[in-house]
């Protein structure tokens, strides 16, 4: 698993449509890594030739490996929630992130389907599924999303690991909440995953 990338930004190619993901090429140890990024992350990229740091998620597909980049752990966690929804691929998840993490959280608070339907490829039924998942994960009290930015702790990475193991966003979120209510598992994402797996094992 590739968790993060730090290197020199060699190229950045914007999407051709509104909220369409862009491409950032980062040189790391002589290799040029192409990372797909949301429009907010693309806008936050430094000028070409400067150093850039991105959190990452590796999508392993039958025909290719796709590396996705994020400007914050919060955005990465939101991406993993979106990817846990049926019918949401990596490009559509990045297009949804084009609304911004804050706007997606606001949609969850207000129940706004119209905001989600602004994204190309999102119809009413898909918007309803996305909204339900966001409400489970982003409303106040959620263990995964906080306003702490980079200091939000191990929960986003723990959530990402559980999703990578095949659990749904709802299952992973509920298990992490149980662990939190029991006193947490320290600062290590691995410890949170271990405790969450115990919860998930006991619920099946």
Domains of the chain: 4-70 (2.40.50.140), 153-204 (1.10.8)
Rounded to two decimals, what is the model's pTM?
0.67
Q: Residue 19: its pLDDT value, please?
A: 84
- Torsion over CA of 161, 101, 109 and 87, rounded to 10 degrees? -60
- 138 or 126: which carries more pLDDT confidence? 126
Question: ∠65-71-77 over CA atoms, to 5°?
Answer: 70
Average pLDDT over the chain, rounded to an integer: 84
pLDDT (tens digit per residue) in 72-122: 988 998 998 898 887 889 999 999 999 998 888 888 888 888 889 888 888
pLDDT in tens, 141-182: 554 544 334 445 677 677 777 776 777 666 777 788 888 888
Task: Report long-range pairs for 123-132 (Cβ below 8 Å, ≥24 apart).
Answer: 126/87, 126/88, 129/85, 129/86, 129/87, 130/82, 130/85, 130/88, 130/96, 131/107
At residue 32, the pLDDT reads 95
Which pair of tokens denotes residue 133?
Answer: 């998942």
Does residue 23 carry a pLDDT above 80? yes
The predicted structure's pLDDT at residue 149: 40
CB neighbours of residue 85 within 10 Å: 19
Q: What is the pLDDT of residue 150?
A: 41
- CA–CA dist 139, 111 (Å, integer): 11
Percent of the chain with pLDDT over 90: 37
Q: What is the distance between the alpha carbons of residues 156 and 144, in angstroms, rounded to a whole number?
A: 6
CA 75/CA 83 separation, integer angstroms: 12
The dihedral built from the CA positions of residue 150, 58, 69 and 135, taken in this order, carries a sign that is: negative
State the pLDDT at residue 142.
54
Question: What pLDDT is recorded for position 148?
Answer: 38
For the ranges 2-6, 49-53, 70-74, 170-174, the lowest mean pLDDT is seen at: 170-174
């Amino acid at each position: 698993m590739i968790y993060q990338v730090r290197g020199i930004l060699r190229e950045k190619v914007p999407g051709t449509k509104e909220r369409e993901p862009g491409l950032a090429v980062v040189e790391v140890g002589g290799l040029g890594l192409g990372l797909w990024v949301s429009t907010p992350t693309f806008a936050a990229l430094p000028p070409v030739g400067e150093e850039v740091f991105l959190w990452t998620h590796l999508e392993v597909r039958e025909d290719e490996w796709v590396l996705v980049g994020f400007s914050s752990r919060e955005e990465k966690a939101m991406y993993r929630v979106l990817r846990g929804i049926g019918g949401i691929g990596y490009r559509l998840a990045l297009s949804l992130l084009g609304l911004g993490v804050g706007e997606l959280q606001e949609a969850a608070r207000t129940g706004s389907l119209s905001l989600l339907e602004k994204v190309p490829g999102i119809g009413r039924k898909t918007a309803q599924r996305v909204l339900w998942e966001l409400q489970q994960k982003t409303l106040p009290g959620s263990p995964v999303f906080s306003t702490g930015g980079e200091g939000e702790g191990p929960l986003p990475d723990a959530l990402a690991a559980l999703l990578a193991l095949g659990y749904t966003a709802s299952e992973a979120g509920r298990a992490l909440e149980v662990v939190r209510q029991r006193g947490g598992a320290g600062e290590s994402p691995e410890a949170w995953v271990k405790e969450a797996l115990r919860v998930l094992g006991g619920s099946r």
